[in-house]
Amino acid sequence: MLLNTPTAHTAPILFVGGKGGVGKTTVAAARALALADAGHRVLLMSTDPAHSLGDVLEHPLGDRPVRVAPGLWAAEPDADTAVRRRIAQVVRDAERALPAEIMPAVRRHLDHAGAAPGMAESALADLLMERMEEVGDRWDRLVVDSAPTGHLLRLLALPTLLTPWVTGLTRRRERARKAEAFADAVVAEPEEDPLLARLHERRHRLEGAAARLRSASRVGLVTVPRRMVLAETARALDSLTEAGFPLDTVIVNQIPPPGAVGPDGTAVLAEIRRRFAHVGVTEVPLADREPTGPSGLRALAAHLPG
């Protein structure tokens, strides 16, 4: 049931988030399958380390997109693999730009950096940015099954947060290269700097991702009619609004039959309708069975926005 739904979802990129256990992965999969059934080329990507998307689709998934239904591809990247791939790329660039005698120290530093907090999220964000850049060419729509709420907020904020830092690194590297070029000009032609080229590439990618997140995407939150979950959903919605992210309809999942809803559940449901009326509320009844596989997801999609 759709209540106070403002406009249909038309942005090519949709993030689906919410507290763990509310059914956001099944909602993301159902919405992606519905878009594919409507004739779009859709990529469904998970950034949730819990790795439940393959179970919902009843199809094995990995880093690379695989076709799971007509018009629908899915990927479930592994954070550790993404970190190793990023470190290997940095090592290759460093080997071309830095003296060989300091490379052992560089490798030791990178080994430690790989285990640093936030490295996995940053590596997954890189993969996500690559997929976002493919929208309009390889894919018509991208649906992102995000990790629980806190991760989603950090993921969306990363491009904006990292851009000034990368810009500062680029300027420092440019100043160092000017000094090196002065010395090189005496004896030889200065060589291309792969580290500087990589920094420029990363800055442009971050700037493009930050713009795309606000102009070509929407964020849809999934909640359930429980008071604690409502509180977290409201805080997430406020944070997203403050950060300027366009919002999609709030999905209220797993609503028990009318006779099974107690007084507190009825009050919470009324509060959800009131608090989220400005973005729209879609109510999804509790299913008799777990909505997995094509038939279960299509049954769920019948209750979701088109």
* Listed residue (229, 33, 213) closest to 133, CA to CA: 213
β-partners of residue 251 are 222, 282
48 catalytically annotated: yes
* Listed residue (1, 6, 56) closest to 218, CA to CA: 6
Residue type, 167: T
Residue 237 CB coordination number (10 Å): 21
Residue type, 275: R
Phi/psi for 74 (5° steps) reads -140, 150
Radius of gyration in angstroms for the set of CA atoms belonging to the chain, rounded to a whole number: 22
* Listed residue (231, 219, 83) closest to 142, CA to CA: 219
Q: Please give the Cα distance from 258 to 88 (Å, whole number).
A: 56
Kindly give the residue spans of alpha helices, DSSP state H, lying in the chain: 24-37, 53-57, 79-97, 103-114, 119-134, 149-187, 194-215, 227-243, 263-275, 293-301
User: Is the distance from CB of 146 to CB of 47 less than 8 angstroms?
Assistant: yes
Q: Please give the Cα distance from 168 to 174 (Å, whole number).
A: 10
Catalytic residue among 37, 48, 137, 238: 48
Q: What is the DSSP string of 211-236?
A: HHHHHSEEEEEEE-S-HHHHHHHHHH
Coil/strand/helix, residue 147 = coil
Tokens found for residue 86: 């990023």
Q: Tell me the catalytic residues.
A: 48
